């Protein structure tokens, strides 16, 4: 790593976020967002990414020779070696074999490295966040879905074309509900934000004694994981039992992955992780009760500490390491 400053840029379904990162401090020193507008097609979207990064660097008062490189993430399957998207489910045309790296390099004239979005979050939390200082770590990012990542021996694990680390698709219930991936009973189907909201909805509809319904004025579409966390904090027994159940599902996924890689720390992040101890405590209890052969008390379960900046920081670190591929 020669340069001090790198750019991270996250291409999301709704927004493109770019941040200029100082890798001495691990801080995002300037950031800028724009709309993705994926219906405009890949050429327009990649052009908009390049323009966003150019204006970020210019407005921060930097010259391009101060920028060591750019890390870019996208929300789908990627070919990291070719620097291409393979398939992005939610984008029109699905971005099949789009040369994201080469196109951005042609616009920006600095090295560009691509990475899956949640692997970038994992790398950021490991380098500068809640995973700092351990050589082996798991990350679960729990939101609309559940993403993941694995660091082992101080390296982000990206084998099998970068699909290693898809912790949200660990099977918890072989007879469980169908998952977006096509499998049944993945932890994502049982413990993602929408799955948690559905548990709250079910409790209200069944007439269980809970404040969840009145908290949303019985507009049941407004029940979210956040509402159920608020209810639990107010002492609502139904809401507390929902978090215990969610924590047990995540806990079993943690155990299944931990038995393979033996992590020292497990970072839980994403919007649902804002529930804090409501979620972390039952995860720890599940490890204590069910992980018999590996010492549960040697695996720390912690909340992510970088919030929305984790991915941007991880991408900057990834670019500084030359995309980890050389």
Q: Look-up: residue for tokens 């972390």?
A: 280
Residue 178 interacts with Zn ion (CB under 5 A): yes or no: no
What does DSSP say about strands 137-142 and 112-116: parallel, antiparallel, or unpaired? unpaired
Residue 184: CB minimum distance to Zn ion, A: 8
Residue 251: CB minimum distance to Zn ion, A: 18
Nearest Cα to 192, choosing from 225, 158, 163, 232? Answer: 225
Of the listed pieces 92-100, 181-189, 249-257, 290-298, which binds Zn ion according to CB under 5 A? Answer: 181-189
Binding to Zn ion (CB under 5 A) within 138-177 occurs at: 169
DSSP lists the bridge partners of residue 31 as 19
Residue 176: CB minimum distance to Zn ion, A: 10
Q: Which is nearer to Zn ion, 71 or 165 (CB)?
A: 165
H or E element at residue 31: strand 27-35
Q: Which is nearer to Zn ion, 107 or 184 (CB)?
A: 184
Residue 260 interacts with Zn ion (CB under 5 A): yes or no: no
d(CA 30, CA 292): 46
Q: Which is nearer to Zn ion, 133 or 182 (CB)?
A: 182
**Binding-site member from 44, 58, 106, 181 for Zn ion (CB under 5 A):** 181
Residue 189: CB minimum distance to Zn ion, A: 7
Q: Distance of CA 206 to CAs 79, 202, 261, Å?
A: 46, 6, 41
Residues belonging to the chain: 326
Which parts of the chain fold into alpha helices (H)?
42-59, 100-108, 117-128, 187-191, 193-205, 212-215, 225-233, 237-261, 277-290, 310-320
Judged by CB under 5 A, the number of residues near Zn ion is: 5
Q: Which is nearer to Zn ion, 146 or 316 (CB)?
A: 146
Binding to Zn ion (CB under 5 A) within 182-211 occurs at: 183, 186
**Binding-site member from 57, 120, 179, 267 for Zn ion (CB under 5 A):** 179
Residue 55: CB minimum distance to Zn ion, A: 38
Cβ contacts of residue 80 below 8 Å, gap of 6+? 113, 114, 115, 158, 161, 162, 323, 325
- Chain residues in the site for Zn ion (CB under 5 A): 169, 179, 181, 183, 186
């Amino acid at each position: 790593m020669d340069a001090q400053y790198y750019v991270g840029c996250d291409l999301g379904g709704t927004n493109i976020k770019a941040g200029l990162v100082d890798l001495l401090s691990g801080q995002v020193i300037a950031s800028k967002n724009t709309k993705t507008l994926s219906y405009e097609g890949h050429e327009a979207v990649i052009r908009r990414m390049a323009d966003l990064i150019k204006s970020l660097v210019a407005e921060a008062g930097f010259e391009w020779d101060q920028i060591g490189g750019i890390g870019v993430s996208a929300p789908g399957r990627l070919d990291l070696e070719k620097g291409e998207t393979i398939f992005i489910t939610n984008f029109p045309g699905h971005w099949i074999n789009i040369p994201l790296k080469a196109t951005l390099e042609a616009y920006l004239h600095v090295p560009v490295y691509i990475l899956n979005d949640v692997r970038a979050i994992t790398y950021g939390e490991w380098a500068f966040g809640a995973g700092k200082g351990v050589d082996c770590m798991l990350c679960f990012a729990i939101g609309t879905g559940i993403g993941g990542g694995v660091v082992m021996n101080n390296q982000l694990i990206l084998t099998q074309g970068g699909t290693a680390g898809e912790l949200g698709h660990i099977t918890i219930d072989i007879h469980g509900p169908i998952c977006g991936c096509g499998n049944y009973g993945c932890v994502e189907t049982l413990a993602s934000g929408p799955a948690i909201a559905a548990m709250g909805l079910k409790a209200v509809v069944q007439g269980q004694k809970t404040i969840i319904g009145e908290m949303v004025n019985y507009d049941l579409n407004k029940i979210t994981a956040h509402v159920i966390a608020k209810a639990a904090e107010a002492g609502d027994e139904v809401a507390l039992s929902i978090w215990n159940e969610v924590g047990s599902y995540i806990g079993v996924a943690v155990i299944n992955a931990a038995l393979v890689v033996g992590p020292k720390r497990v970072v839980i992040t994403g919007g649902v992780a804002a529930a804090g101890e409501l979620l972390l405590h039952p995860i720890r209890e599940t490890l204590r009760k069910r992980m018999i052969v590996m010492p549960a008390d040697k695996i720390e379960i912690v909340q992510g500490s970088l919030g929305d900046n984790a991915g941007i920081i991880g991408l900057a670190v990834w670019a500084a390491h030359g995309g980890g591929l050389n």
